[in-house]
Amino acid sequence: MRIEIDRSRCRGAGQCALHAPELFDQSEEDGMVVVLDDQPPPELLERARLAERLCPNSVIRVLDDEQSRGGPAG
């Protein structure tokens, strides 16, 4: 799994940091998303997916292992 973000679209809502603090934080400078671990262990997949779903600006993208390697999405 790999986490990608589009920081340019982030508006600092903080849902990611609230629901998955082991994966996300917010910058003290501008409140924008900060990824703490872009390749987290599999046991954090559901937390990453929750943050992805809850992001109001669709900034977060969670890629499975196949997508992370550039293979076909399945």
Taking the model in full, what pTM does it have? 0.85
Range of the domain at 26: 2-68
pLDDT for the residue numbered 64: 85
**pLDDT of 68 above 80:** no
Could you tell me if residue 73 is inside a domain? no
State the total domains in the chain: 1
Could you tell me if residue 17 is inside a domain? yes
Could you tell me if residue 36 is inside a domain? yes
- For 20-62, how does the pLDDT look when each residue is reduced to its tens digit (9 = 90+)? 999 999 999 999 999 999 999 999 999 999 999 999 999 999 9
Could you tell me if residue 7 is inside a domain? yes
pLDDT for the residue numbered 4: 97
| Element (DSSP H or E) covering residue 15 | helix 15-19
Measure Cα distances from 7 to 3, 36, 43, 73 in Å: 12, 14, 25, 23
